[in-house]
Structure 1
Amino acid sequence: MPSSRFSGSLSAPSVDVTIDTGNHFVNHTLDGFLKIGTVAATRAVAEDTFKAINRGKVSKHCLEHSIKKMCKEGAYWGTVAGVYVGMEYGVERIRGTRDWKNAMIGGALTGALVSAAGNNNKDRIVTDALTGGAIATASVFLNYLT
């Protein structure tokens, strides 16, 4: 009986940009900001491009709106990621160990800080802290599986 096999490997593209400020904490924070900010900006451009294609037209107003949205989304998500990465790194340095608890604490602190900056009430801040900690912890556990 004839058979066939496929053999190969699949790897994600890798782009590394290093900015050395001389401070590991700042380096980690900037790295998180740049990576996630770029992803968010790219997502915003892809979404607006899809909408423009569906409408069948591109105008100067649409292009300006897309650029503003790209910058806003990139800055927001980059800032949240930078805060998280900085928090997790700071917790790691304070605790002197590298484990999932750093992600949980960093995620909770980030969730609370971002929520408090948005002038949310106390209950919402606590909920966002719990959500941030849960998402960060789940992310670490999922990385262990792969």
Structure 2
Amino acid sequence: MPHGGFSGSLTSPRLDLAVDMGHPFLNRTVDGFIKIGTVGACKVAAEETFECLHKGDVSKHKVEHALKKMCKEGAYWGTIAGVYMGVEYGIDKIRGHRDWKNAMLGGAVTGALVSAVNNHQRHKVVKNAITGGALATAAELLTHLSS
């Protein structure tokens, strides 16, 4: 019986940016801000590009609006990532070792802080803390599975 197959690999481009702020805490916080802030800005760029193509309308006003929205979303996502990275680093230093529990606690604290800053009620703060902890733990575990 004939047999066919395909073999190959798919890799993504890798860009490493190092910003030295003079302290590991600041380095990790700024690194998280830049990387995830860029993801947030790219998300908005993709959405706005789709909207312009879908409607068939591109104007100076729409481009300016898209750029402002990209900056706002990038800063928001980056700030959350920076807080998470800083909290996780602090927990790592307090506990004395690095494992998935640091990610869980960092995500929970970050979720609670972001929720509290957005003036959510107590039950939403708790819900967002649980969600943040779960997402961070899942990301940490998936990172270790792929390595």
Q: TM-score category by the smaller chain?
A: over 0.9
Normalised by the size of structure 2, how large is the TM-score? 0.93
What's the counterpart of residue 77 of structure 2?
77
1:7-39 CA-to-partner distances (Å, cap 9, x unmatched) read 332212101111101110000000000000001
Secondary structure of residue in 1 paired with 2:129: helix
1:46 maps to amino acid: A
Q: Does residue 32 of the first structure (1) align with residue 20 of the second (2)?
A: no
After TM superposition, give the deviation of residue 123 of structure 1 in Å: 1.6
- Kindly report the root-mean-square deviation, in angstroms, between the aligned alpha carbons of the 2 structures: 1.2
Mapped partners of 1:8, 1:88: distance in 2: 36
Q: Does residue 44 of the first structure (1) align with residue 44 of the second (2)?
A: yes
Give the total of aligned pairs.
146
The 10-residue stretch of structure 1 (19-28 or 113-122) with the greater mean CA deviation from structure 2: 113-122
Mapped partners of 1:39, 1:133: distance in 2: 20
Mapped partners of 2:25, 2:86: distance in 1: 6
What's the counterpart of residue 120 of structure 1?
120
| Structure 1 gap ranges (5+) | none
Mapped partners of 1:51, 1:106: distance in 2: 35
After TM superposition, give the deviation of residue 89 of structure 1 in Å: 1.1
What's the counterpart of residue 94 of structure 2?
94
The 10-residue stretch of structure 1 (81-90 or 135-144) with the greater mean CA deviation from structure 2: 135-144
Normalised by the size of structure 1, how large is the TM-score? 0.94
The 10-residue stretch of structure 1 (87-96 or 134-143) with the greater mean CA deviation from structure 2: 134-143
Mapped partners of 1:3, 1:141: distance in 2: 37
After TM superposition, give the deviation of residue 73 of structure 1 in Å: 0.5
The percentage of counterpart residues that share the same residue type is 59
What's the counterpart of residue 129 of structure 2?
129
| Structure 2 gap ranges (5+) | none
Mapped partners of 1:107, 1:19: distance in 2: 23
Mapped partners of 1:116, 1:57: distance in 2: 39
Mapped partners of 1:34, 1:144: distance in 2: 23
After TM superposition, give the deviation of residue 130 of structure 1 in Å: 1.1
